[in-house]
Amino acid sequence: MFKRTLVLLQKSTKGPWANMLKDPSKKYTRFKGVDLPDRQWPNKVIEKAPRWLSTDLRDGNQSLPDPMSVEQKKEYFQKLVEIGFKEIEVAFPSASQTDFDFTRYAVENAPDDVRIQALVQSREHLIRRTVESLKGAKKATIHTYLATSDMFREIVFGMSQKEAIEKAVWATKLVKSLTKDDPAMQETDWSYEFSPECFSDTPVEFALEICEAVKAAWEPTAENPIIFNLPATVEVSGPHIYADQVEYFSRNISEREKVAISLHCHNDRGCGVAATELGLLAGADRVEGCLFGNGERTGNVDLITVALNMYTDGVSPELDLSDIESIIDVVEKGNKIPIHPRAPYGGSLVVSAFSGSHQDAIKKGFALQAKKDDPRWRIPYLPLDPQDIGRNYEAVIRVNSQSGKGGAAWVVQRTLGLDLPRAMQVDFSRVVQNTADGLGRELKSEEIIALLQSNYNIDNCSSSVMTIKDYNFEKKSDSVTDVVAVLLVDGKEVSVSGTGNGPISSFVDAVSKEFGDFEVQAYSEHSVGKGSSTKAATYVQLSNGKTTAWGIGMHESITRASVNSLVSAINTILKDEVTKAEPEKVKA
Ligand SMILES: [Zn+2]
């Protein structure tokens, strides 16, 4: 209350446009990209998975208000291995004993094909300590960096371009002498990554110049290329401009076959995924990021989204995201930041449809898919089959007062196998909508099923006026069937008999003698399940001239199912227009 008053006060005294500039160009200038009129990337497609590097435990962890505990880091590391990451940046081992110890854990527990990467500043004692932390690894990458953008060089480090190149070369040579050139360190397959930090804000000619010098110092091979990581440390432009920068770099770096170009996009403008995808089109080989986009400020690129975008384009990301819930679990526990309910693919609401028109479309899509022999996924509103990431269809259609007939019908079909006739769906949806409206919230599946059972008096439920004790049909000819039935009406046995051209009409004839004339308005049936557990489901719409009601019956025997559906409808009518009265009761 108090807060709200303050906000209002502020508004009235300052007026519109109090803080934002009407002409922002006075304060902010558009980033100028590299001149590349013959750019090739717009015509490319992503055809295979890149090399992935998870930096959850380094870049991600260092951005957390509450960094991960050692136990959480271990669990996270194991999950990354399980997903299939072959390169994992685990820590900044020279920064603290905890990071050093965790690097040792990763080295000692990584599968042979997983490369452990560690980040280090270009300083001698820190580099020595980092190499020590990786000793004995099967595969290891040392990652050095140097801020190369004009702003960082001049404002933060006071370093000329020449000095920056000298420093990068010096660090590279030191790492080389301590790793791949050291006869005592040959049990490890060493790799080297250099990041011209703030690449996206660095004149691309200078980025090339420094990387050429570093490459000459490292002497990579085509089998073990040097990794040039091109970070959008801060996202300063549109993704198309970043793509131009990456393509320019890729086309102009010498000995391209001895270089792996890596992307490391942050998400300041919300385009981290787009920049990464366009960067791949522009020729990059490798992607660095975090699960669900954790990381400094607005985060690193979300690897889950990049991978599943690829997947829904029909390209295997070579990361196993089959059990998304267990991944979310580990990520939320480690980061202590919840995954947004609308996060692409992983968010809890992203496969859920509440609105009637969406639900109808999805339901039609599934019905058509079930009939076809075509494995291609074509379901409206669902770009990914939730089952592929370990989710079920229950979450797909959710029912509240905005939902149409399709929503509740979907739940009934998924839960009980009952494919309600269209007119009955309309009838039931009125009950569901009124109940949801009355409660002012979404209805759970169990509540919808309970509503169906009580509304249609299914299976002689206890509130029924009339139940069946016994019955016997006798077929007199092809067109004549007699029935004798014993009913329980308010606890008393009542015998009735009737005749008709089949079981349904003879039974209606028999009960009509007791309760007044009934007429069947609609009837349909289908089987539920397969093999020995197959059941018959029958639906009947019955009228006594004043009230019309639907009934549902289910049984192994089709005759008994039909009788059950008639009893279900008769009870509804006998309870004096329950279908109309009940919703109003809820409303009040
Ligand atoms: Zn970063």
385-443 residue pLDDT tens: 999 999 887 777 888 888 878 889 988 988 898 999 999 999 999 999 999 999 999 89
Average pLDDT over residues 89-104: 96
> Is residue 58 helix, strand or coil?
helix
Taking the centre of ligand 1 as the mean of its atom positions, its distance from the CA of residue 264, in whole angstroms, is 6
Taking the centre of ligand 1 as the mean of its atom positions, its distance from the CA of residue 197, in whole angstroms, is 9
Taking the centre of ligand 1 as the mean of its atom positions, its distance from the CA of residue 453, in whole angstroms, is 56
Taking the centre of ligand 1 as the mean of its atom positions, its distance from the CA of residue 550, in whole angstroms, is 62
Q: Where are the beta strands (DSSP E) in 66-206?
A: 87-91, 115-120, 139-147, 189-197
Taking the centre of ligand 1 as the mean of its atom positions, its distance from the CA of residue 144, in whole angstroms, is 13
The per-residue pLDDT for range 162-215, each reduced to its tens digit, is 999 999 999 999 999 999 999 999 999 999 999 999 999 999 999 999 999 999
Number of helices followed by number of strands (H, E) in the chain = 19, 14
Residues within 5 A (CB) of ion ligand 1: 59
Taking the centre of ligand 1 as the mean of its atom positions, its distance from the CA of residue 263, in whole angstroms, is 10
CB 523 within 8 A of CB 504: yes
Average pLDDT over residues 523-528: 93
* Among 83-97, 400-414, 518-532, the range of highest mean pLDDT: 83-97
Edge-to-edge strand list for the sheet holding 480-489: 466-477, 480-489, 492-500
Average pLDDT over residues 298-317: 98
Taking the centre of ligand 1 as the mean of its atom positions, its distance from the CA of residue 177, in whole angstroms, is 27
Taking the centre of ligand 1 as the mean of its atom positions, its distance from the CA of residue 164, in whole angstroms, is 20
**50-64, 129-143, 230-244, 570-584, range with the lowest pLDDT:** 570-584
Taking the centre of ligand 1 as the mean of its atom positions, its distance from the CA of residue 63, in whole angstroms, is 9
Q: For residue 480, list its beta bridge partners.
A: 477
Taking the centre of ligand 1 as the mean of its atom positions, its distance from the CA of residue 238, in whole angstroms, is 18
Taking the centre of ligand 1 as the mean of its atom positions, its distance from the CA of residue 463, in whole angstroms, is 65
Taking the centre of ligand 1 as the mean of its atom positions, its distance from the CA of residue 502, in whole angstroms, is 76
Of 60, 202, 52, 64, the residue nearest 119 (C-alpha): 60
**The amino acid at 548:** T
**Beta strands 480-489; 466-477: pairing state:** antiparallel
The C-alpha atoms of residue 298 and residue 270 are separated, in whole angstroms, by 8
Taking the centre of ligand 1 as the mean of its atom positions, its distance from the CA of residue 234, in whole angstroms, is 8
C-alpha radius of gyration, the chain, whole number: 34
Edge-to-edge strand list for the sheet holding 519-528: 519-528, 535-543, 548-555
**pLDDT over 80 at 576, yes or no:** no
Split at pLDDT 50, 70, 90, the class of 460 is: low
**How crowded is residue 70: how many other Cβ atoms within 10 Å of its Cβ?**
11
Mean pLDDT of the chain: 91
